[in-house]
Amino acid sequence: RQTLPLAKKKKSAEILLDYTKPSEPFEWASQLKKTMEKVWGIKSFRLCQEGVCNANMDGRDILCVMPTGGGKSLCYQLPALLSPGTTIIISPLLSLIADQVLNLREAGVECVMLTGTTSKQEQNEAFARMTTKPGPGGRGKEIKLCYVTPEKVAKSKRLISVMEQLATSGRLARIVIDEAHCCSALGHDFRPDYKRLSVLKSLFPKVPILAVTATLSQKVLPDLLKILKLPPLCDGRAANSRGTCAFSAPLYRKNLHYKVLPKATNAKVAIQEMADWIREHHPGESGIVYCLSKKDTEVVAQGLMEASQGSIKTGVYHADVADAAKERIHRDWKRGKLHCVCATIAFGLGIDKAETRYVVHASMSKSMDGYYQETGRAGRDGARSDCVLYYRHQDASRILSLTLGETDGQSKVHDMLRYAQDITTCRNKIFGKYFASSALLSSEKGDKSPENLDSPCGHCDNCCRSSDQKQTLDMTRAVWKALKVAEAVSRAGGRVTLSGLADVVRGLAGGTFPVVQPSKAQSSETRGAVDLEALCGGKLILSKERTETLLLDLVLNGYLQEDFHATAYAVNVYVQPGPKATRYTRLASGAVDEIAASLVYEFTFLATGKSAAQSSTRATAGVKRKSTAKKGTTGDSKKRVKG
C-alpha cells in the first residue's frame, strides 16, 4: 500500500479552530445556515458538508470525497452565494450541468453555463456580465456560479482571459472541479481535457480550488494532487493547518448489500439464474443489469424477458442507442414502466433514480472504481438494495483483453478479480482498503464505518457466509505441482491458457499441451507433453473448477503471469510462470512437506454440495503434510502467502 500524503499518525497536533464544529465562532456561520434554508430548504448539514463549507468560506484548497448523492454540490453552491465574486465549476457532463443550472435558477440563483452548445450570444452576454462590475451602473446582478465543461477550459482562450480579469479584480471566488477523479489516467473515467486543468493553479495561484469526487482510489489520490498542483493534504478539520484540507465521508452505505454469486458457464443458464434471482428478490422493482458489451446488453435483456415469461420488463441502453430512445428508456425506467435496464457503462453519470433496488453485474467491471461507482446507483433513497456480481473466472481473460491498451488496465482488472475471488473478507472492508477514503478518514471523528474499523459490516455475502459454506485447504503441494508444470510447459515452448494449464496439471490428454512454432503457420501446431509422474509425482487430484480458481489466485499473487498474444481476431491470454514462481519450483518434492511456514499456501474455496458437510476437515489435495510448521491461524480467515 502506498504511503499517502497525509500520514496516518500525523493527526494535526492541535486543532485550534475546527471547521467541522458547529459551535466554532466563524463569522459566516449563521449566514450559511440561513441561506441554506432559504434557498434549498435544507435545515441541517450532511456528511462533511459543514466542514467543507467552512473551509471553503475560509479560502482553503480542499479535497472532498463523498459518496454519490451525498450532497457535494451544496459544498460549493452555498459558499458561492456568500462569497464576493464568481465561482467557476468544471463539470464533465452537459446533462448534469443543465440540470444544476435549471435547479439553481428556479431557486433564484444567478448562474450561467458555458458549454459547447451555448450560443455565441449567450456566451457574449455571460462574459460581459462577468467582466463588468456589478451593481449600480453595472450590468445587473453578479453571476455567482458559472458552470463550464473541461473542454471549454482547455479550448477557450476567451474563457481563460475572462477568468484572468476576474482574478485580477479579486472576483474569481473559487474554482471547483467536479468529478475530479476524471483527471487521472489511473482512475476509471479519465478525460484528457481534465488533465489539462493543471494550468489552473499556475494561472491562478491565489484562487482556491475545491476538488470533489465520489470515488478516489489509493492510486489516483497522489496523481490527482499532482495534476491539480494542490499542496499536500492536511487534516481538513483544523483551521490552523496548512495545505489542502482533506474531507472524506465514509463510503460505506449500510443499505447496500454486496454479494458475488457464481455465474454458470452456460450463457443461457446464467441468464435464467439472473432472472430467477431478480424475480425472487425484487419482483416488479427497479434495477440495472450492467453488461460488458453492447451486444451483451441485448442478449441479456432478451434473455431476461424470456426467462421471466415477460414479468421482468427490460430495456437496452448503450452508446449506439439513438438519443431519443435513450431518453425514452431512462424515462420509462424512472416511471416504472420498465423494471430493468440492461446497460453498458454508458448508463452512468446523470442516471439517478432513488428507488433503484438492485444493480446486477452480469460480468464484472474493468476496475473496482467502476464497480463501486456503478453499484452506487442502487438505493439512493436509503432503502435496502442489492448489489450483485455474477462472477466466473472464465470472464477474466475477456476483460483483460479488452483493457489491454489502457493505462494500468491489467492491474485494475486484477484488483477487480481479487474482489470477485475473495469469499472471506468483508466487501465493505475491501472497498475501504481500495479507496483512499480510509486514509483520509482520519479527518473525520467518531467514524464507525467498517472500512475504517476492524469490524466487518455484518451484512455482505462474506460476512454472512457460514463456516460450512467454505473450506480452507492446504494447497501448498497443489501450488508446487502447478508451478512445476507451468515451468515445464513454458520451457518446452508451450502456450497454455489458464484453463489449459489446469488440464495439463490434472493430467488430461496425457499431460500434453500445444506448442507454438513461430516459423510455421498456426495450423501446424505441435504438441508437447510433461511426464507428470517424473516431474511432480503424478497429476493433481482436484476438480477443474477449483484448480482454475487456484491458478487465478496464483496469477493475482505473482506466481503466474499473463502473456498476451494478439491474433487478427482477438487477443489471447496465456499463462506462464510469474516472477515469484521459483519460490516453489526450486524445491524438490520432499521439501514441499517441510516448507517454511511463510510458504504454506492455504486457500479458501466455496464448499461444494458434497464437501460442505466435511468442511472442517483440512484435506490436502491428495498429499499429507508431514510438517505442521505453520503460522498461527486466525479463525477462518484466508491465510495466504504474499509479498
Point out which residues bind Mg ion (CB under 5 A). 72
Residue whose CB is less far from ligand ADP, 15 or 42: 42
Q: How far apart are CA 536 and CA 165, in angstroms?
A: 75
Q: Which does 427 bind (CB under 5 to 8 A by kind): Mg ion, ligand ADP, none?
A: none
Residue whose CB is less far from Mg ion, 72 or 393: 72
Q: Which does 69 bind (CB under 5 to 8 A by kind): ligand ADP, Mg ion, none?
A: ligand ADP
Residue whose CB is less far from ligand ADP, 213 or 585: 213
Q: Which does 232 bind (CB under 5 to 8 A by kind): Mg ion, ligand ADP, none?
A: none
Nearest-CB residue to ligand ADP? 71
Which positions touch ligand ADP (CB under 6 A)? 42, 45-46, 49, 66, 68-74
Which residues in 295-355 belong to E strands, given as ranges?
314-317, 340-343
Q: Which does 71 bind (CB under 5 to 8 A by kind): ligand ADP, Mg ion, none?
A: ligand ADP
CB of 174 to ligand ADP, least distance (A): 16
Q: Which does 437 bind (CB under 5 to 8 A by kind): ligand ADP, Mg ion, none?
A: none
Residue whose CB is less far from ligand ADP, 213 or 421: 213
Residue whose CB is less far from Mg ion, 99 or 533: 99
Q: Which does 222 bind (CB under 5 to 8 A by kind): Mg ion, ligand ADP, none?
A: none
Residue 98: HSE in the Cβ half-sphere, 13 Å Cα cutoff:
8
DSSP per-residue codes, 382-410: SS-EEEEEEE-TTHHHHHHHHTTTSTTHH
HEC secondary structure over 417-439: HHHHHCCCCCHHHHHHHHECHHH
Nearest-CB residue to Mg ion? 72
Q: How far apart are CA 358 and CA 614, in angstroms?
A: 34
Residue whose CB is less far from ligand ADP, 69 or 622: 69
Which residues in 39-192 belong to E strands, given as ranges?
62-65, 86-90, 111-114, 145-148, 172-177
CB of 45 to Mg ion, least distance (A): 16
Q: Which does 486 bind (CB under 5 to 8 A by kind): Mg ion, ligand ADP, none?
A: none
DSSP per-residue codes, 516-564: --TTS-GGG-EEEE--HHHHHSS---S-HHHHHHHHHHHHHTTSEEEEE
Residue whose CB is less far from ligand ADP, 374 or 602: 374
Which one-letter amino acid corresponds to residue 469? Q
Query: Hey, which residues does 577 pair with through a beta bridge?
Result: 560
Answer whether 240's CB lies under 8 Å from 19's CB: no
Q: Which does 60 bind (CB under 5 to 8 A by kind): ligand ADP, Mg ion, none?
A: none
DSSP structure class, residue 628: -
CB of 417 to ligand ADP, least distance (A): 28
CB of 212 to Mg ion, least distance (A): 7
438494495: which residue's cell?
385
> Length of the chain, please?
643
CB of 615 to ligand ADP, least distance (A): 43
CB of 178 to Mg ion, least distance (A): 6
CB of 100 to Mg ion, least distance (A): 8
Instruction: Annotate 332-368 with b (16+ C-beta within 10 A) or e (fewer).
Output: ebbeeebbbbbbbbebbbebebeebbbbbbbbbbbbb
CB of 46 to ligand ADP, least distance (A): 4
Q: How far apart are CA 524 and CA 516, in angstroms?
A: 9
Residue whose CB is less far from Mg ion, 77 or 442: 77
